[in-house]
Structure 1
Amino acid sequence: MQVAIIDEGRAIDLGGCRFHAIWLRDNAADAETRDPGNGQRLIALRDIPEGTVVSEARLDDAALHLRFEPEGKTVTYDTGWLMAHAYDRVDTRGPGWTGEGIETWDAGLMTRIPNAAFDDVARDRAALAGWLGGLARFGFGKLTGGPVEEGALLKVAALFGYVRETNYGRLFEVRTEVNPTNLAYTGLGLQAHTDNPYRDPVPTVQILYCLENSAEGGENMVVDGFACAERLREENPRGFDLLSRYCARFEYAGSGGVCLRSRRPMIELAPDGEMIGIRFNNRSAAAITDVPYADMEAYYAAYRRLGEIIDDPAMEVSFKLSPGECFVVNNTRVLHARKGYSGTGSRWLQGCYADMDGVRSTHAALVQELGLAAE
């Protein structure tokens, strides 16, 4: 590998990858720039002189030594770190690409669901890391053999993060009620949906934990919303564009003192086109008013087709929970549903919300702690 100063010191070329001087100086890891203990920056960009350039560049094994002017400061970089963070590339990704470590799926996931025993992940940090890695990759995971007791799902949330309390409480009951405030509390079948699309931000993890399940029917289903959006994009690029470009509206006012509203696309993309979220919930959809007249008919056709793809049995993984079992979904990606169930027997689940940042943080920390290979 060779290094050369280019553009009058405003950049370097390291083995064919270019890096700007200002980027390199901003990402210096010396003790004056970053705290050695927590890694946080000790300076702001305003503390780096405008017009910063590289005046000297020298390679020594896996280390790159750069001198910056006008500071007269020499900084050493690990070349492996630099190449892992290289940004000098041609981006050929189109709208709707998914991030590294994300694997989309259909009904074929049935044979490889991220599944673990509660006692194993509670006691064995390597087992927990493996299960969380699967949850991050697929947006879905199951646990079996948990305690059959009220509030047990809070122990699941504590494995990786914290409960997100909402107007439904710290946890909520999912069983038949008289005069329910939400259709989830009936025996009706529910179309696959993401929860709380009317909330901004939405809870990004949902846990549903089974305490009783002797009723006929009531199987749970999960569907990868990212895979459904990818299928729509392949069939109908314009429809994908409409659902990602225009905002839908969602609302909930089913209980006293609560009036929740949001305005977000059904398919949410980052500015660079990365697919980062799905919001789909027919029960909570409000009137769509942000689509121009000229596009509304095509928008509704795309909306209908997305729903048909979501309803396609080829996209779903279905299962029936037993007491002490639970499933966890990334609520910004994976839709969940249930089939209708009879009035005989009993079906009692408890649910709660948490967040994916806890899943990702705990997984990354365990990978580092245990020296595991990154997923």
Structure 2
Amino acid sequence: MPAKTEIQIIDEGHAIAIALPNGTKQRFHAVWLRDNAWDETTRAPGNSQRLITLGDIPVDTRISAAEFEAGMLHLTFQPENRTIIYDPNWLAGHGYDGNQSKASGWTAPDIKTWDAGLNASIPIGDFGAVSRSQEALRDWLYGVRRYGFGKLTGGPVESGALFKVAELFGYIRETNYGKHFEVRTEVNPSNLAYTGLGLQAHTDNPYRDPVPTLQILYCLENSAQGGENMVVDGFRAAERLREENPRGFELLTRYCANFEYSGSAGVCLRSRRPMIELAPDGELVGIRFNNRSTAAITDVPYEDMADYYAAYRRLGEIIDDTSMEVTFKLAPGESFIVDNTRVLHARKGYSGAGSRWLQGCYADKDGLLSTLSAIELQDRKAA
């Protein structure tokens, strides 16, 4: 544990410099430390929610004393004249000193982009195992978080079984298509998904705001010729575009496209979002790509429209590149889930012979991530 001499009060008490257990040296502002206190008057013991607002913290908050005692950091704040205890390990995991700006289009550490080479390492879980074992569920959800999709095998062959998949981690998101939708050939379909035509890899419902963040497709019958499912990592496609054409990448992140759906009576959905979406710090956070639902793009200036369309075309070519796709054919009782903000899905055309019946539904990624994080937190506490 760092010695007392390794803490320094700086900037007239408005910050400290400290050597932390992970070997890093970090500076922390006094107001940040006070706002992130974990004492019982700042955070509710039961749920850890903050009990005070920033307005309750004096504007001229500063540190008048800092020392280690029994392995914990004790800081005295003025003008409150309060001493609050901090865990140095928590500070080590939440340091912000030295954060450097990152290249536009960076991805979070728990994201792994991929192409066709992933075929041998698709995240696969057994329905029975993930239903009974928290460890098996954790491993499968981890794969979905890391790669943006995953398969389940060995599920029941019964209508509505896809709801049991969603219940593993969260809840169904109901839309105008209902709690679930049938994917099988129809006469006069309201959506091309209900035909035997092949479909370009796409994200679903880009005309919604927010889009459904997860999609589940569950197989009940599949004796038709063809109809293989395909998935493409939209984040990897965006990375390839950025590597080949930085200006094109920038145009698709800077300008919004328009998406629209009005294929059912009483429904007219519209959204305006970039095809490649970045957070303010440049993190790659979303892909919206669906040729069937793209409306007239009007937010791009005349001077940039030709280059925008060239980038749009190239992104589509990358997505269509067979070296990008992972392909598989579902058997009855098998299903797969995709992160609809990242992974594009498609299917190859299939013939009228035999039968092909899948059911689909939407869910929300926050439920999946919450379930996974709660299991991981429990594992850490048990270690």
TM-score bin (small chain): over 0.9
Question: After superposition, where does 1:120-269 map in structure 2 within 5 Å?
Answer: 120-269=129-278
Q: Measure how far apart 1:59 and its partner are.
A: 1.7
Q: Deviations over 1:240-262 (max 9, x none)?
A: 00000000000000000000000
Residue in 2 aligned with 1:305? 314
> How far off is 1:370 after superposition?
3.1
Task: State the SS of the aligned residue for 1:154.
Answer: helix
- 1:12 aligns with one of 12, 16, 34: 16
Among 350, 362, 365, the alignment partner of 1:353 is 362
Contact 1:197 1:280 in 2 (8 A): yes
Give the secondary structure class of the aligned counterpart of 1:353: strand
Partner of 2:65: helix, strand, or coil? Answer: strand
8 Å CA contact 1:249–1:262 kept in 2: the answer is yes
Inter-partner Cα distance in structure 1 for 2:79 and 2:201 = 59
- Using the size of structure 1 for normalisation, the TM-score is 0.98
Is 1:115 aligned to residue 124 of structure 2?
A: yes
CA displacement at 1:189 relative to structure 2: 0.1
**Residue 41 (structure 2) pairs with residue 32 (structure 1):** yes
C-alpha contact (below 8 Å) 1:208/1:349 kept by paired residues: yes
Q: 1:46 aligns with which of 35, 48, 55?
A: 55
Aligned partners of 1:367 and 1:373 also within 8 Å: no
Gaps of 5+ in 2: 20-24
Return closer, same or farther for 1:210/1:365 CA change in 2, 3 Å cut-off: same
2:334 alignment partner AA? E
Q: Deviations over 1:208-236 (max 9, x none)?
A: 00000000000000000000000100000
Q: Give the Å deviation of 1:60.
A: 2.8
What amino acid does structure 1 have at the position aligned with 2:16?
I
Q: Distance in 2 between matches of 1:80 and 1:109?
A: 36
CA distance in 1, matches of 2:65, 2:219: 64
Tell me how far apart the structure 1 counterparts of residues 192 and 323 of structure 2 sit (CA, whole Å): 26
Contact 2:275–2:288, Cα closer than 8 Å, also in 1: yes
Aligned match of 2:69: 60
Equivalent position of 2:295 in the other structure: 286
CA separation of 1:61 and 1:234: change in aligned 2, threshold 3 A: farther
Aligned residues: 374
Mapped partners of 2:148, 2:291: distance in 1:
21
Identity of aligned residues (%): 70
**Cα offsets for 1:347-371 (capped at 9, x unmatched):** 0000000011011100011112233
Distance 1:261 1:46 in 2: 39
Q: Which amino acid aligns with 1:243?
A: L
1:126/1:370 contact within 8 Å kept = no
RMSD: 1.1
Which secondary structure state, in structure 2, belongs to the residue aligned with residue 102 of structure 1?
Answer: coil
AA partner of residue 376 (structure 2): V
Give ranges in structure 1 of 5+ residues lacking alignment. Answer: none
CA contact (8 A) 2:101 2:281 kept: no
**TM-score for the superposition, normalised by structure 2:** 0.96
Whether 2:341 is the aligned partner of 1:337: answer no
Distance in 2 (CA, whole Å) between partners of 1:372 and 1:213 is 44
Cα distance in structure 2, aligned partners of 1:203 and 1:257:
20
Q: Give the whole-Å Cα distance in 1 for the aligned partners of 2:134 and 2:34.
A: 37
SS at match of 1:282: coil
Which residue of 2 is the match for residue 323 of structure 1?
Answer: 332
Deviation per CA, 1:151-200: give whole Å up to 9, x if none: 00000000000000000000000000000000000000000000000000
- SS of the residue corresponding to residue 284 of structure 1 reads coil
In 1, distance between residues paired with 2:157 and 2:118? 27
C-alpha separation in 1, matches of 2:30 and 2:333: 56
Per-residue CA deviations over 1:282-333 (Å, capped at 9, x if unaligned) read 0000000000000000000000000000001111100000000000000000
Contact 2:184 2:356 in 1 (8 A): yes
Q: 1:321 to 1:373 in 2, by over 3 A?
A: farther
One-letter amino acid of the structure 2 residue matched with residue 99 of structure 1 = A
Q: Distance in 2 between matches of 1:35 and 1:61?
A: 24
SS of structure 1 residue aligned to 2:125: strand
Please tell me the residue identity of whatever aligns with 1:31. Answer: E
Aligned to 1:82: 91
Structure 1 runs of 4+ off > 6 angstroms?
none
For 2:22, the equivalent position in structure 1 comes to none
Report deviation, 1:100: 2.1
